[in-house]
Amino acid sequence: DAGVIQSPRHEVTEMGQEVTLRCKPISGHDYLFWYRQTMMRGLELLIYFNNNVPIDDSGMPEDRFSAKMPNASFSTLKIQPSEPRDSAVYFCASSFVGEVDTQYFGPGTRLTVL
């Protein structure tokens, strides 16, 4: 089975540009999580969805960040406008209620904002 798929794997953009990160969870999983990882702050949960509905977005740093999950097989995380401090690795992870303890992570998107 394919794991969690993220695209792009690397993104380099200039400050002020819009960035869209994409995630395809494992088929059949009903939870989807977006994380950000930096050296300074570690791995932080930004937002998570259950059955395509956002449940907790308290980790989203500010209004420049938004996330959507239009269907069970696709989610986006958008940053508009991007800033250099948004540079990080963004991971998407998924899990399902039958295996509630295990989150499967995608390979991540390494974002650099110049």
Partner 1 sequence: RKEVEQDPGPFNVPEGATVAFNCTYSNSASQSFFWYRQDCRKEPKLLMSVYSSGNEDGRFTAQLNRASQYISLLIRDSKLSDSATYLCAVNGKHNAGNMLTFGGGTRLMVKP
Question: Does position 51 bind partner 1 by CB under 8 A?
Answer: no
Question: Does position 34 bind partner 1 by CB under 8 A?
Answer: no
The least CB distance from residue 55 to partner 1, in Å, is: 6
The least CB distance from residue 37 to partner 1, in Å, is: 9
* 8 Cβ contact list (under 8 Å, min separation 6): 21, 22, 109
Rounded alpha-carbon distances, angstroms, from residue 35 to 20, 49, 98: 14, 12, 22
Question: Does position 55 bind partner 1 by CB under 8 A?
Answer: yes
Nearer to partner 1, 81 or 87 (CB): 87
Positions in 63-102 near partner 1 (CB under 8 A) = 91, 95, 100-102
